[in-house]
Amino acid sequence: MASKKQILLPLAVLVGGIGIAVAFSAMKQPPEQKPEQVIHPLVETKPILVAPMQLNVDSYGLVKPKYNTELVAQVSGQVIAVSDAFVKGGFVNQGDILARIDPNDYEAALIEAQASLAQASSALEIEQAQAHVAKTEWQRIKDNASATIPSELYLRKPQLAEKLASFRAAQASVKRAKRNLERTYIKAPYDAIIASRDLSLGSVVNPGSTFGMLNATSVAEIRLPVADNELQYLVNGGINANVTLTAQVEGKPVKWQGTIVRSEGVIDQRSRMTYLVAQVKRPYASDRTPLRFGAYLNATIDGKTIDNAASIPQYLVKNGQVSIINDDHTLSFKTLNIIREYNGYSIVDAGINNGAQLITSALEYPTEGMQLKLNDGTESVTDTQLALKEE
């Protein structure tokens, strides 16, 4: 049986522990009450610029000559001379002699034709004199006695017509012989660059034999495909519009200025594009970088000008609206009149004012009139929004 001491000692320890706990609890300070803070979403903005804007249209194409000519022999013979400039890539001027066909036979033909012409001319003069004598004789007979109307044969009219026809035929033979002799010279019909040469010195040619191909250097043309819905941004369908052409030359960008001169007027069956044709004069001019035939170009065609327009990134436009922060740091949605979507931007001409602050950062649950806070650069938008999510 436990003694009285064994029973009272645990009770005393328990009572003492409770007293100490109560004393410590009385000494503890209550937590400090902090005022409740309202955290507004932190956003970044940029001002919108409303100004005149030109709606240009982009395209591309290959440079080709406006004129190209295949040189073809018109007479037969052996090639006895070839110009040093008559090589692929060579430049020639209008009238330059590129090659020569042996002219001996054609010179002899010209001499024969000239001799025939001289004979025909002499015979015609003799016949004209005889006709004059016959006519004079008939006048004398008619004055001295009554006579009937003379025959044309008596007046030598058929003989005169025959001699005249022979004379004209001889003239034609001389003209033909001169022309054939001239055709032994193969000449450049215009200022050109040689695209190809098919014959060499000593070759024998016949009418129709090909000497080579020439590309005129006076005008270059570029066919520019344009989608049908892009034509609405061009004045007069793009005719007479200026076009800027760009390409890489020796690793550097180079620009040329051209003009849209015509539309091909049909839609290509394969690409469903309308082709506009741009021209550049004197593409190989010495005072600038040559615009070489066969080069691939990017083109920017000058389009219509809008008096007041703004360019807004497409990712900021939701359902035709953008988010704007007002002067009192509240959010507003503005409905836009989008006239074009181009290269990742929406072009608008109504619905927004110049200088308006466009919100460029993402908001989770944006509402009209919600209070916002502008990012002053000391805290990133991403970090703030992440902290809001975690809370």
Residue 1 pLDDT class (50, 70, 90 cuts): very low
Average pLDDT estimate for 159-176: 88
Residue 27 in any domain: the answer is no
Residue 7 in any domain: the answer is no
Dist. CA 205–CA 75, nearest whole Å: 8
Q: At 37, phi and psi to the nearest 5?
A: -105, 140
Mean pLDDT is lowest, of 40-44, 73-77, 91-95, 167-171, for 40-44
Q: Higher confidence at residue 213 or residue 28?
A: 213
CATH label of the domain that carries residue 154:
1.10.287
Average pLDDT, the chain: 84
Residue 182 pLDDT class (50, 70, 90 cuts): very high
Please check whether residue 226 is in contact with residue 59, taking contact to mean a CB–CB distance below 8 angstroms. yes
Cα–Cα distances in Å, from 162 out to 120, 125, 156, 158?
10, 12, 10, 6
Do residues 196 and 91 share a domain? yes
Do residues 298 and 345 share a domain? no
The pLDDT assigned to 350 comes to 87
**CB within 8 A of 3, min separation 6: which ones?**
none
Average pLDDT estimate for 67-94: 94
The pLDDT assigned to 374 comes to 79
Q: Higher confidence at residue 115 or residue 367?
A: 115
Q: By three-state DSSP, how is residue 166 classified?
A: helix
**Structural domain harbouring 134:** 104-182
Do residues 194 and 95 share a domain? yes
Residue 391 pLDDT class (50, 70, 90 cuts): very low
Residue-wise pLDDT tens digits, 245-300:
999 998 899 999 999 999 998 888 888 899 999 999 999 988 889 999 999 999 99
Dist. CA 268–CA 253, nearest whole Å: 30
Number of domains in the chain: 4
Dist. CA 27–CA 34, nearest whole Å: 22
Do residues 248 and 369 share a domain? no
Dist. CA 142–CA 131, nearest whole Å: 17
The pLDDT assigned to 268 comes to 86
Q: How many residues does the chain have?
A: 391
Q: By three-state DSSP, how is residue 390 classified?
A: helix
The pLDDT assigned to 384 comes to 38
Dist. CA 321–CA 332, nearest whole Å: 10
Tokens matching residue 386: 């992440």
With helix as H, strand as E and coil as C, how does 224-238 read? Answer: EEECHHHHHHCHHHH
Is the backbone of residue 386 left (phi > 0), alpha (psi -120 to 50) or beta? Answer: alpha
Do residues 95 and 192 share a domain? yes
107: number of Cβ within 10 Å: 14
Task: Estimate to the nearest angstrom the gap between the alpha carbon of 200 and the chain centroid.
Answer: 37
Residue 55 has pLDDT above 80, yes or no: yes
Do residues 359 and 296 share a domain? no
Residue 381 pLDDT class (50, 70, 90 cuts): very low
Do residues 80 and 194 share a domain? yes
Residue 64 pLDDT class (50, 70, 90 cuts): very high
Do residues 285 and 342 share a domain? no
CATH label of the domain that carries residue 251:
2.40.30.170
The pLDDT assigned to 131 comes to 72
Cα–Cα distances in Å, from 153 out to 127, 136, 163, 322?
13, 15, 14, 105
Tokens matching residue 244: 């800027």
Dist. CA 304–CA 38, nearest whole Å: 50
Mean pLDDT is lowest, of 17-21, 27-31, 311-315, for 27-31
Q: Higher confidence at residue 363 or residue 390?
A: 363
Tokens matching residue 115: 């001799």
CATH label of the domain that carries residue 77:
2.40.50.100
Residue 3 in any domain: the answer is no
The pLDDT assigned to 365 comes to 82
Residue 251 in any domain: the answer is yes
What percentage of the chain reaches a pLDDT higher than 90? Answer: 49
